[in-house]
Amino acid sequence: MGKVYDQAYKTEICKRIVEGGETVSFVSKEIGIRDTTIYGWVSRYRENSEKPFVGSGHIKPEDEAFEKLQREIKELKEENEILKKAAAYFAKNQK
């Protein structure tokens, strides 16, 4: 298996090429990464420059905990909305 580069590094390299006007061959020789690898990165970057490099699916424990809390907050907000609507419905029908 080849070396793994993080998302920030790949994005930096792509910005040098796409926005900075440097050539793939120049950057490839400078950093010692095959040009075919960099062409793949640039292709993905051009398709979606906001989030071009999706991770491996493994996230840090603190990020996982944060995402879990975000999901829980969303679920609780949805439950509150349902309860508010139910309370309003029953209050209206009590008269």
63 in the same domain as 51: no
15 and 44 fall within a common domain: yes
- Full residue range of the structural domain in which residue 24 is found: 1-55
CATH number of the CATH domain containing 11: 1.10.10
49 and 63 together in one domain = no
Average pLDDT value for residue range 60-65? 77
Same domain, 35 and 1: yes
Axis-axis angle for helices 24-31, 35-47 (nearest 10): 120
Q: Say how far apart CA 42 and CA 29 lie, in whole Å.
A: 16
pLDDT in tens, 3-39: 888 888 999 999 999 999 999 999 999 999 999 999 9
Q: What are phi and psi of 83, to 5 degrees?
A: -65, -40
Same domain as 1, residue 44: yes
pLDDT at position 51 over 90:
no
Tell me the pTM. Answer: 0.55
How many domains does the chain divide into?
2
- Residues 10, 43: one domain? yes
